[in-house]
Amino acid sequence: MWILIIIEFVIFSFIGCLIDSLHKSIMQQKLILSGAIIKLICPVYGIGALFLILNFKLLSKYKNWIQIIIGFIGLILIELISGLILEYIFRIKLWDYSNNFMNFYGWIDLQHTVYWSIVTLIFKKFIYPMHLKSEGFFKAKVL
């Protein structure tokens, strides 16, 4: 099971970073490659995806809207805690929403809160079902 977690972490870190790079490149009208440790690998997206998988699994008996609300609140908290740790422990600031409307110390803002809610909806509807299929495959074939 750990191999699936590691594979998904890397895949989601890459996909999230790719989307982030695309968004930044469009907004700044030049090529921007995101990545915290290695270009095009952003661990915060991998952590967020694994959180959503765990959230949907643990809350599967609850209504979808409860899973989604807890999911996007969790993503916001992951972004907030990551920003805090990066700035105060590692002395780096990988994102800065200070100029955005309704921001909190530049780590989170209203715009990205909306993004995280949309990501959670998409993840629940499309990506989580694919995860369940891959999990079944790994249990049957690999493990």
Alpha-carbon gap, residue 54 to 131, rounded angstroms: 11
> Do 129 and 142 touch, CB atoms closer than 8 A?
no
Report the pLDDT value the prediction gives residue 125, as an integer from 0 to 100. Answer: 97
Q: Which long-range contacts (CB under 8 A, 24 or more apart) does 55-61 make?
A: 56/124, 56/128
Report the pLDDT value the prediction gives residue 65, as an integer from 0 to 100. Answer: 97
DSSP alpha helix (H) spans, 1-127: 2-28, 43-58, 64-88, 110-122
pLDDT, one tens digit per residue, over 103-113 is 999 999 999 99
Report the pLDDT value the prediction gives residue 2, as an integer from 0 to 100. Answer: 85
pLDDT, one tens digit per residue, over 6-36 is 999 999 999 999 998 998 899 999 998 887 6
Beta bridge partners of 104: 108
Give the mean pLDDT of the chain: 92
pLDDT, one tens digit per residue, over 83-120 is 999 999 999 998 999 999 999 999 999 999 999 999 99
Identify the CA nearest to 40 among candidates 22, 53, 58, 55. 22
Domain boundaries, the chain: 2-131
Report the pLDDT value the prediction gives residue 86, as an integer from 0 to 100. Answer: 93
Report the pLDDT value the prediction gives residue 56, as an integer from 0 to 100. Answer: 98
* 130 half-sphere exposure, CB direction, 13 A CA radius: 8
What's the DSSP call for residue 60?
Answer: T
Report the pLDDT value the prediction gives residue 138, as an integer from 0 to 100. Answer: 74
Identify the CA nearest to 117 among candidates 74, 84, 80, 56. 74
